[in-house]
Amino acid sequence: SGTLISVLIRIELYSSGNRIISPENQNFYNISITLHGFLMIFFLVMPGLFGGFGNYFVPIFQGSPEVVYPRVNNFSILILLLSYLFLILSLISEFGGGTGWTLYPPLSTSFMTLSPSSTGNLIFGLLISGISSCLTSLNFWITILNLRSYYLTLKTIPLFPWAFLITAFMLLLTLPILSGTLLFILGDLHSNTLFFDPIFGGDPIFYQHLFWFFGHPEVYILIIPAFGIISIIISGILQKIIFGNQSMIFAMSSISLLGSLVWGHHMYTVGLESDTRAYFTGVTILISLPTGTKIFNWLTTYLGNSPLLHLKISSVFFSLLFLLMFTIGGSTGIILGNAAVDLGLHDTYYVV
């Protein structure tokens, strides 16, 4: 369903004017943007990469028979279905919640939403999904720390469980913030609270701070498991340990730490003071150092193998292509990380 919506968005943006979404129902485009974001992040990448690969492979890599709490796992995947149903329900209750996946007020907290019950359903869906992720994270955290094979220390466990340990930590750190923020939105929408209403002394920018404090670490929560997977693929096929194994662990840890301190770079245009913008610019660009370390470690692991091997075995070739795409995609972040550049490029097609 997430892919279907992304296809609709692409066809609609294929050229100017109305393509396939009728002019009478412009709100449907906003609903598409919202649902595509939620479905891809919370129902594809997180259950697939983090939950799926994690449950299957983490016990294998550290020689444990199973995760510590298998029934908690079962519960977390079952409530994910409930959460998905809430999202789909939001599509058919009233007009659908066309708030964008970021749920910014006042669009999500007043009757500007067109549809308070849809937004309510979206929020319930996300809260349940958050409970699911938190349970899984606790499970992995305890499994990796307490259920390792007796000869494995934290220094010697492979990069794959390390990636999941770091991801689980970030989820446990930031998901409670998101849940509280969503409850604030729910209160503003249905219970006459005024957290984000500037007329009554609330602050819509406060919402953005809370949301992006989750939202930025979230992008690392999505990519760090992939780092673990790519490390294992390269290491397994080339039959050697990743070059600078320890530095990879430090790099992933640094990325997660720095990634939790740069939320303001999503908010350069809201009127932050210039010294605040300077801080966020500096720390954002600092993240490129551990990321660069990882890229060069992966590339250095390839050295000493026949170049023909890279073309013969598709996984080796795909891993190289992954590194290429990741580098190209990530370099955009360095450009947009500069507050001055971001002010010019904000809300342009470059960002999209």
Per residue in 155-171, pLDDT tens?
Answer: 899 999 999 999 999 99
Q: What is the pTM of this model?
A: 0.93
Q: Is the pLDDT of residue 149 over 80?
A: yes
The answer to whether 67 and 76 are in contact (CB under 8 A) is no
Residue 349 lies in a domain: no
The answer to whether 137 and 224 are in contact (CB under 8 A) is no
The pLDDT of 316-332, averaged and rounded, is 90
- CA-based max dimension of the chain: 68
**Residue 79: what pLDDT?**
96
**Residue 109: what pLDDT?**
86
The pLDDT of 304-322, averaged and rounded, is 80
Q: Is the pLDDT of residue 287 over 80?
A: yes
Contacts of 30 (CB under 8 A, 6+ apart): 98, 99, 100
Residue 70 lies in a domain: yes
| pLDDT tens, position by position, 120-137 | 999 999 999 999 999 999
Outline where the chain has alpha helix (H).
Answer: 2-12, 27-40, 54-61, 70-92, 116-146, 159-190, 204-238, 245-259, 274-286, 288-302, 307-312, 314-337, 339-345
Amino acid at 139: N
In terms of C-beta density within 10 A (0-12 exposed, 13-18 middle, 19 or more buried), how is residue 34 classed? buried
CATH number of the structural domain spanning residue 275: 1.20.210.10
Residue 351 lies in a domain: no
The answer to whether 302 and 310 are in contact (CB under 8 A) is yes
Scan for tokens 């697939």, then name that residue: 48
Our count of domains for the chain comes to: 1
Residue 280 lies in a domain: yes
Residue 192 lies in a domain: yes
Residue 217 lies in a domain: yes
The answer to whether 294 and 248 are in contact (CB under 8 A) is yes
Q: Is the pLDDT of residue 16 over 90?
A: no
Q: Is the pLDDT of residue 105 over 70?
A: yes
pLDDT band at 27 (very low <50, low <70, confident <90, very high): confident
Q: Which domain holds residue 59?
A: 1-20+30-343
Rounded to whole angstroms, what are the CA distances from 14 to 10, 17, 139, 197, 345? 6, 9, 44, 37, 21
Residue 120 lies in a domain: yes
pLDDT band at 19 (very low <50, low <70, confident <90, very high): confident
Q: For residue 198, how many other CB atoms are within 10 A of its CB?
A: 12
More confident residue, 23 or 54: 54
Cis status, amide bond into 106, omega within 30 of 0: yes
- The Cα–Cα gap between 15 and 28 comes to 18
| pLDDT tens, position by position, 50-66 | 999 999 999 999 999 99
| pLDDT tens, position by position, 182-202 | 999 999 999 989 999 999 999
**Residue 81: what pLDDT?**
95
In our burial notation (b when 16+ CB lie closer than 10 A, e otherwise), range 79-118 reads: ebeebbebbebbbebebbbbbebbbbbbbbbeeebbbbbb
pLDDT band at 113 (very low <50, low <70, confident <90, very high): low
- The Cα–Cα gap between 102 and 105 comes to 9
Q: Return the half-sphere exposure (C-beta side, CA atoms, 13 A cut-off) of residue 139.
A: 25
Q: Which two tokens stand for residue 214?
A: 């989750």
